[in-house]
Structure 1
Amino acid sequence: MAEKLQLELITPYKKVLSEQVDMITAFGSLGEFAVLPGHASFLTSLKIGELSYLKDGETFHLALNWGYFEIVDDTVTILVETAERADEIDLERARAALGRAEEALKKLTREDKDLIVYEAALQRALIRMQVATKAARK
């Protein structure tokens, strides 16, 4: 059993991370989960949510936007639409996005085809704000 996990985090635009880490926590379609070295292989989908990982006693946070999480032989591959490190998130932009999503949702009905788009935008903004405030506390 390896003592570390190899974390590979990839978006359509770039490889965001390639690091040896101690633990990873993410939000899958069935809820939050964590993996440690020696974890059984599995594949799951990821929801809009936070990814955190522990490396040498320090915890790092990222905001993720939908994707997939796979662990095989202590290598974790995460493929997502977007990934933002906590220190890269502009909190004011996230707040503005939250306001726009809330305003749009006030005008929509349950039957409106754009409802799911603005609900996702609201969720993304909330996660980005949550992750950004963790960077501000460090």
Structure 2
Amino acid sequence: MTQRVVQAKSALTRLFRFRDLATGLKLQLIKALVLPILYYPPVPLHALSKTTISRLQKVQNSTLRFTFGTKWDDFISSASLPALNVHLHEMATKLWQRMEDEGWDQYRVLKALHEETPHQQYAWFPRSLLRLEDGQPEPRYR
């Protein structure tokens, strides 16, 4: 995750030369160049620990502060971007649902493995299906 945070911060740093652009253009640049680094792939990312999600959320907050020109202690709600953990959870849910609807072989295999050991999980790679059973997460903005 450290590498992903560094990549996102690096992409944001490269955008600082455009700080005088209109807010709408900066938001488009952020959505195209920084947020995909934080959002993809959603299936393993949404199951990460709260600490790791918080690190990614801090980068998203930095990008929004850059976009709207606010100070570090201002809370940003005008971007219409959900909290990172909520967005990742929604994306992972849609992906698993699509895999099930389209009848992917990988989905059937992973679902069978999940049903064999429903509560076994490794700390270094949390299980996405197990995390989805917990329901919608509480938004973490900091």
TM-score range, shorter chain: under 0.3
Q: Larger % of helix: which?
A: 2
Q: Larger % of strand: which?
A: 1
Provide TM-score, normalisation by structure 1. Answer: 0.25
Relative contact order higher in (CA < 8 Å, ≥ 6 apart): 2
Provide TM-score, normalisation by structure 2. Answer: 0.24
